[in-house]
């Protein structure tokens, strides 16, 4: 089954099908650019002050060019753009928030990276919640080119067939169990912050209770691993220097949370479910604890001590 056939079977309306197929068609172009060796700094910075790589700019340009001209796109917001941009559509269209190439610095050391996309019906992001998303997709550029997608009826993984030059279903009904002893601990520098001592205690629990460490520094492959392996937990807390952590709500955490909840997992911030958080500004950051229900509850039990 192709992606288009899947979307049709899922009852996705024609305009959204068209938008999602446009997004998926970009993934192999990014994969080819990576294999082609497009590397090095672009000499620019994004709105977060992070140096942009040529691949960051190239990937972002692909999305922006394809989507800001798309008849059913009302607005786009990219982690690599200073401001959101309008598309041709009005409220009858869709707004897309994306991180075109999350963890791009990992490409130069030949580790997997990814794209994250959250799709909202209507125009705009501020005032919305992650639970308003109509779709979420994460593409993983690793030994294989795959993506996980949800349109609100569970999660399905697709894999790119380079011969057919098309995506086909690889894993239907992706599910995350209630618990699994696998942890992906981000922001370990927080362990040296006296205000975040709970993180050291949690780390000690994991390390003395036979948990398996799986952390690559790329949120997309790390969370994709939890989805594919059926469980585990990814954490990225805040600390004194960055109380809200590093990861962005609309570009990274909300799409990931939608996918994880649709697969039977959970995603929390410090104050509650990620999907219940109201977007106050498009560059809003949030701590995130995402994965198996009982594993996230364990994190919360330490966080709340």
Tokens 């922001």 belong to which residue? 187
HSE-CB of 160 using CA atoms within 13 angstroms: 20
H-type helices in the chain, by residue range?
3-9, 14-35, 54-67, 197-208, 219-229, 254-262, 293-303
- 2 vs 216, beta carbon nearer ligand P6P: 216
- Based on CB atoms, which residue is closest to ligand P6P, 180 or 246? 246
State the number of binding residues for ligand P6P (CB under 6 A): 8
Given a contact cutoff of 8 angstroms between Cβ atoms, the answer to whether 187 and 299 are in contact is no
Cα separation of 101 and 59, whole Å?
7
Q: Does 103 bind ligand P6P (CB under 6 A)?
A: yes
Q: 81 to each of 78, 127, 142, 297, how far by Cα in Å?
A: 5, 20, 25, 35
Residue at shortest CB range from ligand P6P: 219
Q: How far is the CB of 85 from ligand P6P (least distance, A)?
A: 22
DSSP result, 145-167: EEEEEESSS--EEEEEETTTTEE
With H, G, I as helix, E, B as strand and everything else as coil, classify residue 205. helix
Nearer to ligand P6P, 43 or 51 (CB): 51
Instruction: Decide whether 46 or 151 has the Cβ nearer to ligand P6P.
Output: 46
Span 190-229, contacts to ligand P6P by CB under 6 A: 217-219
Binding residue for ligand P6P (CB under 6 A) from 100, 186, 245, 255? 186
Minimum distance between the CB of residue 255 and ligand P6P, rounded to whole angstroms? 13
Q: How far is the CB of 175 from ligand P6P (least distance, A)?
A: 23
Q: How far is the CB of 215 from ligand P6P (least distance, A)?
A: 8
Choosing from 59, 84, 96, 102, the residue that interacts with ligand P6P (CB under 6 A) is 102
* Shorter beta-carbon distance to ligand P6P: residue 69 or 281: 281
Helix axes 54-67, 14-35, angle to 10 degrees: 160
Dihedral of the alpha carbons of 52, 269, 266, 294, in degrees to the nearest 10: 120
Nearer to ligand P6P, 186 or 264 (CB): 186
The residues near 13 (Cβ < 8 Å, ≥ 6 apart) are none
In the window 232-251, what residues touch ligand P6P (CB under 6 A)?
246
Comparison of 74 and 148: residue with beta carbon closer to ligand P6P: 148
- Pairing state between β 166-171 and 156-161: antiparallel
Query: Binding residue for ligand P6P (CB under 6 A) from 46, 64, 78, 187?
Result: 187
Would you give the binding string for ligand P6P spanning residues 28-67, x where CB under 6 A is met?
A: ----------------------------------------
In the complex, minimum distance from the CB of residue 185 to ligand P6P, in angstroms, rounded to a whole number: 9
Candidates 55, 129, 131; CA nearest to 99 is 55
Residue 188 or 207: the one with the smaller Cβ distance to ligand P6P is 188
Q: Where are the alpha helices (DSSP H) in 209-253?
A: 219-229
Binding site for ligand P6P (CB under 6 A): 102-103, 186-187, 217-219, 246
């Amino acid at each position: 089954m192709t992606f288009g056939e899947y979307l049709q079977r899922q009852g996705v309306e024609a305009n959204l099908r068209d938008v999602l197929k446009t997004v998926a068609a970009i993934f192999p172009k990014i994969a080819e650019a990576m294999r082609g060796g497009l590397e090095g700094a672009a000499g620019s910075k994004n709105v977060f002050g992070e140096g942009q790589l040529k691949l960051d700019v190239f990937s972002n340009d692909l999305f922006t060019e394809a989507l800001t001209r798309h008849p059913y796109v009302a607005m786009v917001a990219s982690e690599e753009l200073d401001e959101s941009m309008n598309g041709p559509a009005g409220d009858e269209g869709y707004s897309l928030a994306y991180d075109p190439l999350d963890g791009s610095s990992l490409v130069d050391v030949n580790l997997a990276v990814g794209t994250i996309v959250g799709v909202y019906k209507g125009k705009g992001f501020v005032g919305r919640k992650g639970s308003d998303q109509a779709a979420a997709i994460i593409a993983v550029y690793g030994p294989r080119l795959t993506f996980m997608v949800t349109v609100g009826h569970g999660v399905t993984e697709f894999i790119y067939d380079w011969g057919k030059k098309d995506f086909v279903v690889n894993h239907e009904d992706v599910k995350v169990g209630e618990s699994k002893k696998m942890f992906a601990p981000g922001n370990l520098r927080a362990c040296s912050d006296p205000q975040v001592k709970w993180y050291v205690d949690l780390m000690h629990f994991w390390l003395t209770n036979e948990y398996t460490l799986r952390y690559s520094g790329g949120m997309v492959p790390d969370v994709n691993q939890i989805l594919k392996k059926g469980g585990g937990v990814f954490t990225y807390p805040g600390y004194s220097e960055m109380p809200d952590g590093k990861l962005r709500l609309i570009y990274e955490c909300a799409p990931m949370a939608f996918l994880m909840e649709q697969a039977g997992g959970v995603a929390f911030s410090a104050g509650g479910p990620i999907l219940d958080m109201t977007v106050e500004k498009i560059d809003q950051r949030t701590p995130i604890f995402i994965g198996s229900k009982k594993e996230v509850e364990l994190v919360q039990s330490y966080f709340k001590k």
